[in-house]
Chains A and B, each alone.
Chain A
Amino acid sequence: MSPRVTFPNKLLPYLLLAPQLAITIVFFYWPASQALRQSLLREDPFGLQSTFVGLANFRRVLNDPNYINAVQVTVIFSIATAFLAMALALLLAVMADKIIRGRGIYRTLLIWPYAVAPAIAGMLWLFMFNPAMGTFAYMLRSAGFGWDPLLNGPQAMTLVIAAAAWKQISYNFLFFVAGLQAIPKTLIEAAAIDGAGENKRFWTIVFPLLAPTTFFLLVINTTYAFFDTFGIIHAVTGGGPGKATETLVYKVYNDGFVNLILGDSAAQSVILMIIVIALTAIQFRYVEKKVHYG
């Protein structure tokens, strides 16, 4: 057994934990409990009094076709964003790993997008693909492609997915590069001697050994796609056209802060919280089983 560090003073460990606990309580538990309380109340239009209505808010939310639409949008958006962000990052990381000269420069350049705020990233993509003045929109149109994300739902979805994935690629790239570096070179050499070509080596040796990194990123990217993409959607489409890009988070915002239906909005955040907790639990319970830790 390794020796345990013990504190001479009984109070000290709690004092050391206090800042972290305070932050968690103030910024997570307190709002979460407020949302929970709010989700069981109905507020009158002037916000003067509220009545306890039990699970009525939940019932209404779950029966709302708009909510079901938001679930579908979220599923498509999240899977596409996480997949795209991870696949492209892995591709870039594998490429960057092969470069010998100027390796550092490539890596630095590829990490920069991460420093761009989501709303700014959204604006960049919005400008590039704006039907009226965007460069890429112009190029698409002159290539004979009817590009109009302001009216066309699937195109709007494609645009927010691209922007959201682009923003996350840097982060994933960084982890994949580190993961690739942790794989001993001799394993790759042994596989080469064993007659495995480059593709085969990647899928039978490199990819399985990257599994811990990939799994970690899967959890992070799912959470990212669920929550952190709000700024991008807000800047690029505002949930439209129609409700084509209205994700669950965006709907929480829309109903609560724009339409001021606080009870419904709170019920939605509670459901969202449960979904993310369940999703993460499933990932750890089932996907992690397949992960090999060196």
Chain B
Amino acid sequence: MATVELKDVRKTYGGTVEAVKGISLSIPDGAMCVLVGPSGCGKSTLLRMIAGLEAITSGTVSIDGKVVNTLGPAERDIAMVFQNYALYPHMKVYDNMAYGLRNRGTPKDEIDRRVRGAAATLGLTEFLERKPRELSGGQRQRVAMGRAIVRNPKAFLFDEPLSNLDAKLRGQMRVEIKNLQRSLGVTSVYVTHDQVEAMTLADTLVVMNQGVAEQIDTPMAIYARPATIFVAGFIGSPAMNLLAAEGGDNGKGLKLASGGFLKPRDIVLPESGRSVLLGVRPEHLTLVGDRKNADIELKVTAVETLGADTLAHGHSVSGDARSGELIARLPGNVGVDVDDLLPLAINAGSAHIFDAGTGRRV
């Protein structure tokens, strides 16, 4: 157990490809930090630098207060769970879990005790004598976890450990990993591109984009106050709607490009004439009785009924090209059809305003 600290960590491949562009991050002892972002944003690269599998171009990585930049993966005392599990195919489950302990010269009976303990925790006892290829995907995943926990390392590193499992098993393993991590209290870094995993597992969430950490905070804070347009669009499903707007006269309210004037509450408003993007989550668009109270009118182009909710896709009736597609999450019992015109109110207290130029929150 230990803290993990990154200071302005950078990675350049072959002198030209900047995969990680200066990330600083501090993970307290026992916390779970999740790195989330689109494919190719540098999550794995960052994780592998923490693990010692990739050289650090500049900056420092410290584990337990000690800079580990020059240490090999073995000396950092971390354990890693890989996306493809990386189980040793020629060894039995028992030997897969015992391998790391044997390499560190742990006494035989101690190894046996720990391996059996971990196997019991993970429900693997009856599979100890099997080879990895004789296991299901979920069981292999557990063995990979087992291999990590028997070592009792300072930190766990996970690189998309659940992405090879089916949806149901993924949900189940997600909960298990969370419980295990909590009960063992081991500091963890978890890489995923699945935002449900990101939201549910993280104590600290890092949203990455093109090698940069766009925002680092708790999942709820990121959801409630996304720092950039990228974060706003990435966290939350379906994605946040973004409407072109500009600051109203004397800084009171917003002029929507699609027509209409809005007075959001509890939020800093832009100066008059400054062009911005108004972000509204689909769940913060509500259906109102008549057009007079509506902030925008949605022309429905597609409907998804999810049971509890209905998602209405469409675009603003008077909208120009910039307003693009909008999605409203409506209660499941509302009957909506394609080509309907829906009068919608924007929940003014939950609006987000971003500068159209920089993409930063105003």
Partners in one complex: yes
B100 & A195 in contact (Cβ 8 Å cutoff): yes
Any B CB within 8 A of the CB of A191? yes
Q: Which residues of B contact A192 (CB under 8 A)?
A: 53, 72-74
What is the CA–CA distance of A197 and B86 in the complex, to the nearest angstrom?
Answer: 17
The residue of chain B having its C-beta at the shortest distance from the C-beta of A207 within the complex is: B90
Any A CB within 8 A of the CB of B292? no
Q: Which residues of B contact A209 (CB under 8 A)?
A: 89-90
B53 & A189 in contact (Cβ 8 Å cutoff): yes
Q: Which residues of B contact A189 (CB under 8 A)?
A: 51, 53, 73, 80, 82, 86
What is the CA–CA distance of A192 and B74 in the complex, to the nearest angstrom?
Answer: 6
Query: Chain B's nearest CB lies how many Å from the CB of A254?
Result: 46
Mark A82-96 against chain B: 1 for CB-CB distance below 8 A, else 0.
000000000000000
A184 & B86 in contact (Cβ 8 Å cutoff): yes
Contact partner of A292 among B89, B100, B104, CB < 8 A?
Answer: B89
A196 & B74 in contact (Cβ 8 Å cutoff): yes
B73 & A196 in contact (Cβ 8 Å cutoff): no
Any B CB within 8 A of the CB of A194? yes
Q: Which residues of A contact B82 (CB under 8 A)?
A: 186, 189-190
Any B CB within 8 A of the CB of A143? no
Interface size on B, residues (CB 8 A): 22
A195 & B74 in contact (Cβ 8 Å cutoff): yes
Interface set, chain A 190-205, CB cutoff 8 A to B: 190-197, 200, 204-205
Contact partner of A193 among B78, B84, B89, CB < 8 A?
Answer: B78
A200 & B90 in contact (Cβ 8 Å cutoff): no
Contact partner of A186 among B86, B100, B103, CB < 8 A?
Answer: B86
Any A CB within 8 A of the CB of B79? yes
Query: Chain A's nearest CB lies how many Å from the CB of B207?
Result: 26
The residue of chain B having its C-beta at the shortest distance from the C-beta of A188 within the complex is: B86
B80 & A196 in contact (Cβ 8 Å cutoff): no
Q: Which residues of A contact B99 (CB under 8 A)?
A: 191, 194, 196, 204
Query: Chain B's nearest CB lies how many Å from the CB of A276?
Result: 30
Contact partner of A196 among B103, B147, B151, CB < 8 A?
Answer: B103
Interface set, chain B 40-89, CB cutoff 8 A to A: 51-53, 72-74, 78-80, 82, 84, 86, 88-89
The residue of chain A having its C-beta at the shortest distance from the C-beta of B72 within the complex is: A192
Any B CB within 8 A of the CB of A294? yes
B84 & A186 in contact (Cβ 8 Å cutoff): yes
Contact partner of A191 among B51, B84, B88, B89, CB < 8 A?
Answer: B88
A187 & B78 in contact (Cβ 8 Å cutoff): no
Q: Which residues of A contact B86 (CB under 8 A)?
A: 184, 186-187, 189-190
Query: Chain B's nearest CB lies how many Å from the CB of A287?
Result: 16
Can you list 21 A-B pairs, Cβ within 8 angstroms, ordered by A?
Answer: A186-B86, A187-B86, A187-B88, A189-B73, A189-B82, A190-B80, A190-B88, A191-B99, A192-B72, A193-B73, A193-B79, A193-B80, A194-B100, A194-B151, A195-B74, A196-B103, A197-B74, A209-B89, A211-B90, A292-B89, A292-B90
Q: Which residues of A contact B (CB under 8 A)?
A: 184, 186-187, 189-197, 200, 204-205, 208-209, 211, 292, 294
Q: Which residues of B contact A (CB under 8 A)?
A: 51-53, 72-74, 78-80, 82, 84, 86, 88-90, 99-100, 103-104, 133, 147, 151
